[in-house]
Structure formats: C-alpha cells, structure tokens
Structure 1
C-alpha cells in the first residue's frame, strides 16, 4: 500500500492529493483523519502527480494532515447465496442485525459487459400479477423496463407489489403454466424450486429515499415474507451522495452472481434513478466539469447505459437479470434528460398518470404512453395464452378511441354521439375502473387478466373487434356481457 500526507484541496465530497507514482482509476482508498477515524474512498480521476478521490462517508473531519492510503484494488462486493434475506446499506454492509457476510468470492462491482454474441434474446414471460403490465406491457426475462413516475405518485407501492408478486410461471410440461397461475390466484406463494434453475429472487436497491420510505419498504417486505427471497440495499437521503453512485453497482453485481453463477431468475428494482442522477450532477459540479443539458454531466447517457445494459441472459446459463428502474420525472416532464436518456437505452416504459391517481385508480398506470418493446416475444405460443396479443391490441385500440371520444363529449355532450361511440366511452371507463384498478394487494394471474379483458371487450359489438382472430372471438366472446351492455344502453 502507498501512503501519502499530501492532500492539497477538499471540495464537497472530493479530496485532491499529490502522488509520485501512477494510481489506477477506481482504486480504493483509505483516509485516516488526525482524530484516528478511517474513511473509505475511491479514485475518481488520476493524472500526472494529482488524483481526485470521492469519499463515501463525506469529507467531515478531513484536513491536510490526514493520511491517504491507496489499496491497489478496485471496490469489490462480497457475494454468496446467503445474501438472500439480508438487508444492507448503500455500501454493502449488513444493517439488519444479522451475522457478518462470509462470501464465496469477492467480485468487482464494475462488472463485465455481456458479449453481444453470447446474449440470449429475451422471450420468456415474467408474471407481475399487475394487469396493466402483464396484459398490456408484458415484462420479459432479461428485459430492462423502467417505470416513469412523478413526485407524489405511488411508484413505491407499485414497486413493492411487483417485488412480492413477481414470479416465473412454469412452462415446460403440459398444464404447468396453468397450475402455477392457479397457485397465484389462490394466494399461495409462487413455487420457487419446482425444477433445477427455476428459483426466483428480487434484488431491491433504494437510492436517496427517506427514513420513512425505508421503514415502509421494510415493513412490507417483512409482513409479506418477500424478504426471504430478496436482498435489500438501502441508501438513505442523508447518506453521502457519493455512496449513491456505488449502490446500484453493488445491486447489479449481486444480481449477476445469483443469476449467472447460481441459476436464479433475478428481478432488480432500482428506485429512484433520479436521485442517482442528481448525485452524478453534484459530483460533476464538485469536479468543476463543464455541464451538459440542465446541468447534468455530458457522460450521463454512458453512465446510465453501464447500469441498464447489465440486464440480460447469457447463452448456456440458467439464470437471468431483469431490471425495473424507477424514476420520478421532474415536473412530470418526459423530455427531461433523465427519462429521455433512459428511454433511449431501455426497452420501453411503464408510465404512471397523475389524473388516474387523482381518480383513485391503483396502480395509476396509463397504458397509452406505456410500451414494452419485447412484449410480442414474451407472449408467443405456449408462453401465456394464444389470445394474449390480440386481446392486448384490441383493448389498446378501444381505450384509445374512448379517450378521443372523451374530448369530443366535452364539446358536444354524450347525447350527440352514436350508440357505438357511447359503447366505447363506457369501455374506457370500465377499462380504468376494472382492468387497471386492482389495488396493491391483488395478485392476478395472466389467465384472470385475459378473462377480465374478454369481459370488457364483450361490451363492444363483434364487428368492432377488428384486431382479433375470428376463431378467438368464437371461443372467448361473452354473449351475456354483450346482452348486458345492450340493456344498460
């Protein structure tokens, strides 16, 4: 180890020191204060004779008499299967009162990029139990599907619901998929080890959340038993911003180990990406970098891509890493750099809507601007149900038409509309109050979601179902629903 007492400047979370030997980028550092306290840091920039160090615990207590030791290695995450059920802080240290972690190995948190040639195309369905996602914007193993939310919207409640309900339905033999769904609809926990390699795990990474939010998360995890198959990383709002940059990398390193070494299907939930990007901006300002759009660093796109692109499947490996990053759009502006850049990198988005939330819809997911680019591959033959794609397309088209007609009603009134138009208006209302609305404790199987979709589509005349195969209409169309709709009209 190289040790120096050559600190020249302290700026925010950064310490600058002179060195006489080359120091590696991302190298770990220990800083010992004159009071005997040891703080950890990481080399952020290294040039001839000068290094800048970001200090995880903050720079309080550090002065120019402090000693700087370069450890000669990058930051590593101690990984083991025993991490499941544990709660860690944003630096990977246990905070649940349990024993110290005895790792199987220590892995560099930067990770290794997945060779595109070795990537396996994502096309296997993940059931979240949320109809607006499973039915309309299906999540697929190995996908990165962010949730675009806003300040004050219940994205945390949706994240917790997905964390405790998400499962990989069996799809190998006979009616195993139906059996798995039946287990869900009866309220049973998903079967996690029916066959080798089918275990499911959730890695939950919280960045910059308040203590109150952290308590809510932990109470929910413990109440529902979801903690047993989860690893939780907690970085709080009063923790150093520098730690916020490390937390998602610790999360993803743990996920990669469980997925590619232990065969788990891992769902990674990261909240809030906006807090992470604010930390990037704070560090960039301390380094006196030339800012990019709205003051964020010009390299933010690259930085986010390094996180998001760690999702995927590897050919020949059992496991998978699926990501649901959650971000709050400042001012509900989807052109803000954070959602804008995220949309370029990821494969779609789930959009939460303030108007739906004000109407009491839970979860308030607006399916019209939402999108899952891999949905068609995840609902193919034998993966969910043969009518899934047609039902989704038809409901999307019918709801969009109903939304357009709402604008027209504000001008001319319902009495001026045709009988057909009034049916589409009624469809839009029931779609929100029956299909999207389900509460945060209801776990719907994909069969229940599609059956509910057919109930709603049967309000419309058969000739209006122009996106569904005629054979499927004959099999699933509910005549009694159509008759009820006629009577009500």
Structure 2
C-alpha cells in the first residue's frame, strides 16, 4: 500500500492527486488530514498519472499536505442477517448505539448484474395494504415500481405506510414460514433531521424496525455520500434475498436528491452537461440501481423496489421522472389536487400504471375477479372525471341520469376507495369488497368489463331495484 502527499487540487467534493502507478476505477481511498482525521473516498477517474477522488465525508479540512492511501479494493458492504433491526448512516456505519456489526460476508456495493437468462419473471403478488396500489396498480415480487410525487406532498407518509404494512400473502393455508421471510430495506437520501426523526419514530412505534434495515443520509451530509447510500441498501437487500431467502422490499427516497448529487459531482468534474445540467450518463447510472430488482431462477428470495422521487415543478417530463419511467415497470402518482381535498393517500390512479399487474393477479395469485374489478373501476372513474369537466360548463342539471351516476361513482371512489388514511391496513379482500360496493352503484348493464359469473356472485343489488325486478 503506497502513500502519497501529492494532492494538487481540491474542487468541491473532489480531490485530485498525482500518482506513479495505475489506480483502479472505484478503488477505495483513505485520506489522512494534518489534524489526524481519516476520511474515506473513492476513485472517480484515473488517467495520465492523475486520479480524481470523491470524498464521502466532504473535503473540509483537506489541504495539499494530506496523505492519500489507495487500498486496492472497491467499497464493500459488511452483510449479515443480524442487520435486520439496525439503523445505519449513509456510508453503512451503525448509528443506533447497537453493537458492532460482525459480518458473515463483505459484498461489493456495485453488485453483479443478473443474467437475463437466469431471471425469473415477476408474477407473485405483494400486498401493501393500500387499496389504490393493491387494487388498481398491483405490485409483484421482483418489480421496480416508482412513486412520482412532488414537493410538499405526503410521499414519506405513504412510504412509511407501505414499509410497515407490506407482506407476502400465503398461497397455501397454514404456511406461516414464508410470511416471516419478508424484510424491508429503507434507504433515505438527503432527508432533513426532522424527516429522519419521523421515520425512526414510526419504525419504532409500529415495530416495523424489527424486520427492516435503515440507511439514512441526511441533508447536511456530503452530497457525494448520496451516491453510495442506495448501493449499500441494494447490496444488503441482495444478500438477504439471494443468500437468506427473504422477500425484500427496497424503498429508496428521494431519488431526486440522488440525481442532484450526480449533477453536483459532474459540475465539479467540469463534464459537458446533458438536459437541464444533469450528466449525460444519468440514464445509465439510474439503470444500474433500478435493474438490481428481480428474481433469480433457483433462488427463493426476491428484490422488489419502490423508489420515490419528487418531480421538480410537478413536471413529469423532467429528466429524473422521465428517465425513471423508461427504466421501471410503471409508476404511482401522488396527486396535489387529491391532497388538497384531504384524500389520504392522495394517489391518482388514472396516470398510474403497473405494467406487471396482469401477471401478478387472477386465478391462483389473487382473487379471480381482481382484474375485471380493476378495469371496470378505472373506466368508470375516468368517465366520471371527464364528466366533471363537462359539469363546469353546462351544470349538473343538464346531464342524464346515467351521467349523474358516474359523477356519484367518481366522488365515492375517491372518498371510500382511495381515501383510507395512512394508518389503515386493508387486505385485498377488503379492497375488492369496497370496489364491488362502489360498482354496484352503477346499473348492471354498465359493467361491460366484468365476467357475468362475477357479477352474479358479487354485485350488490339495490333493494328497491330488486323488488321492482321481482314485480316485473
């Protein structure tokens, strides 16, 4: 291990040092300052005897007299099943006052790409307890399904609700073992201390921490640390999933802060910027994170991702949501208008989408009527939304009886189906039963997306209509 005192430039989070031997990309570096502090960094660029080092703890206190040591290995995460119940900082160091971690293995945080031939197609239901997701945009094991939100919206409350409620329903009665093998890895990037306290209070109050691993990078931590946090979280998730057979749900918030860190580092390196100043390689960088979700043939566990991002200016064409949408399998929209009406969680199901939903519901996976109910409610709610625009022009009195039923359905759909509160955990049975109660407000003739056998089994007859039909 060679030690250098050849720092010739410090720029933002980057340190440039001259070397006389080849240095590997992503190699870990220790920088010892004159006051005795040891800072960790990672090689970002290496060529022509000059290396660029991104320092995780920030470059404050580093001068040209500091010593630089290259450790000859990439950053690794010490992993063990005992990480469940632990809280780490953004660099993987315990901050919960618990004992030191005794690892069973040390895994490279970059991870190994899953061979597409070895991937198992995602088609098994994960229950979040949130009707707007379970009923209308179902999450399946091994999927990556982002939540698109915006500043000031309660996406953190939704994330916490999913973290404490998510479970893998039993496919066979009496099989309790599989349910106990569900874990949550929560990676927070650039959150405030107040948000961090709320997260931890909720985890501890509800007992969700016992089956969770939490990584917390705070807003006043160095931005470069945010590029490491999600990789540490995903490495932990992969170990629990593919070595310990857990079904792991990874929640990453906020991916916008992660991308801002990429832009800051790119500016410090004087790279040619892409759209809106973000690096041109941001698509590739995000893909290296999102594509770590999945299942592997022959392994019991799975890694499912719910990344959360706040869209700058509520703009879903911004590079961050735009590129995320290309890589992932759908999106869940948190809506500002629904939030202003007091709907909790304010999920707008119309622009939301789960591309793998059809493969994760139906016979043998969820209740057989699931798909038909979701399609019919989506169509009815969309028609009700369109009629609301018409009402603003001609007034409700000008609409037909049929149109008024759809308007009533849209109102009831928001207040009874979507608005369940952040503390309510609904089973899929509860969600579908509520859906049938709402669809029963419409005439049977309007239920053209549902199999007649399901209508006969679940449609709730209005007593007045039933008496009239009997008389006829």
Which TM-score band applies after superposition, normalised by the shorter structure?
Answer: over 0.9
Counterpart in the other structure of 2:147 = 147
Kindly indicate whether residue 378 of structure 2 is the aligned counterpart of residue 399 of structure 1: no
1:461–1:482 CA contact under 8 A, matched in 2: no
Instruction: For residues 180-229 of structure 1, give each alpha carbon's deviation from its aligned partner in whole angstroms, at most 9, with x where no partner exists.
Output: xxxxxxxxxxxxx8236860000000000000000000000000000000
Give the corresponding residue for 1:185.
Answer: none
Contact 2:167 2:179 in 1 (8 A): no
The question of 1:109 aligning with 2:98 is answered no
Decide whether the 8 Å contact of 1:423 with 1:460 is kept in 2: yes
- CA deviations on 1:422-441 (whole Å, 9 max, x unpaired) are 00000000000000000000
1:135 aligns with 2:117: no
Residue aligning to 2:125: 125
1:56 is matched with which residue? 56
- Alignment of 1:166 onto 2:166: yes
Q: Are 2:80 and 1:98 equivalent residues in the alignment? A: no
Residue 179 of structure 1: aligned partner: none
Q: C-alpha distance in 1, partners of 2:204/2:465?
A: 46
CA-CA distance at 1:34 after TM superposition: 1.4
Alpha-carbon displacement from aligned partner over 1:46-84 (angstroms, at most 9, x marks no partner): 002000000011111111111100000000000000000
CA distance in 2 between counterparts of 1:32 and 1:428 reads: 63
What SS class does the counterpart of residue 331 from structure 1 fall into?
helix
The Cα offsets for residues 326-350 of structure 1, whole Å up to 9 and x where unpaired, read as: 0000000000000000000000000
Q: Confirm or deny: 8 A CA contact 2:169 2:179 kept in the other structure.
A: no
Q: Does residue 1:15 correspond to 2:15, yes or no?
A: yes
Q: Distance in 2 between matches of 1:278 and 1:100?
A: 32
Structure-2 residue corresponding to 1:364 = 346
Give secondary structure in 1 for the equivalent of 2:46. strand
Corresponding position of 1:305: 287
Q: Secondary structure at the match of 1:248?
A: helix
Structure 1 position 381, deviation (Å) = 1.0
Establish whether residue 378 from structure 1 lines up as the match of residue 354 from structure 2.
Answer: no
Aligned-pair distance for 1:265?
A: 0.1
| Separation of aligned partners in 1, 2:179 and 2:241 | 9
CA distance in 2, matches of 1:223, 1:127: 21
**1:5–1:164 Cα change, 3 Å:** same
Say if 1:403 and 1:428, in contact at 8 Å, map to a contact too.
Answer: yes
Does the aligned pair in 1 maintain the 2:144–2:306 contact within 8 Å?
yes
Superposition pairs of residues 272-351 of structure 1, within 5 angstroms: 272-351=254-333
Give, in whole Å, the separation in 1 of the partners of 2:21 and 2:414.
64
Q: Does 1:440 align with 2:440?
A: no
Tell me if 1:206 matches 2:204: no
Residue pair 1:460, 1:482 contacting (<8 A) in 2 also: no
Question: What is the match of residue 235 of structure 1?
Answer: 217
Residue 72 of structure 1 corresponds to which residue in structure 2?
Answer: 72
Tell me, yes or no, if the aligned pair for 2:170 and 2:179 is still in contact at 8 Å: no
Cα pair distance change 1:404/1:51, threshold 3 Å: same
CA contact (8 A) 1:402 1:424 kept: yes
Which digits, 9 at most, give the CA deviation of each residue in 1:251-294, with x for residues without a partner?
00000000000000000000000000000000000000000000
Contact 2:27 2:75 in 1 (8 A): yes
What whole-Å deviation, never above 9, does each CA across 1:373-406 have from its counterpart, x for those lacking one? 0000000311110000000000000000000000
Instruction: Find the aligned partners of 2:86 and 2:48 in 1 and give their Cα distance.
Output: 42
Report the Cα distance in structure 2 between the residues aligned to 1:109 and 1:53, rounded to whole angstroms: 17
Q: Distance in 2 between matches of 1:196 and 1:462?
A: 40
Superposed CA deviations along residues 416-473 of structure 1, whole A, max 9, x for unmatched, are: 0000000000000000000000000000000000000000000000000000011111
Q: Is the 8 A contact 1:273 1:326 kept in 2?
A: yes
Instruction: Check 1:10–1:39 CA distance in 2 against 1; reply closer, same or farther (3 A cut).
Output: same
CA contact (8 A) 1:293 1:337 kept: yes
Structure 1 window deviating more from structure 2 (198-207 vs 389-398): it is 198-207
Tell me the CA shift for residue 480 of structure 1: 2.8
Give yes or no for contact 2:294–2:303 (8 Å, CA) kept in 1.
yes
The runs of 4+ residues in structure 1 deviating greater than 3 Å are 481-484
- Normalised by the size of structure 1, how large is the TM-score? 0.94
Q: How many residues align?
A: 467
Partner residue, 2:443: 461
Match of 1:265 in 2: 247
Q: Is the 8 A contact 2:28 2:40 kept in 1?
A: yes
- Superposition deviation, residue 36 in structure 1: 1.4
Please give the alpha-carbon distance, in whole angstroms, between the structure 2 residues aligned to 1:483 and 1:270: 50
* Cα distance between partner residues in 2 of 1:307 and 1:106: 19
Residue of 458, 466, 472 corresponding to 1:476:
458
Is the 2:58–2:222 contact (alpha carbons within 8 Å) kept by the matching residues of 1? yes
Q: Which residue of 2 aligns with 1:183?
A: none
Distance 1:354 1:481, change over 3 A: farther
- Tell me, in whole angstroms, the C-alpha distance in 1 between the residues paired with 2:363 and 2:244: 28
- SS of corresponding position for 1:72: strand
Q: How far apart, in 2, do the equivalents of 1:77 and 1:442 lie?
A: 36
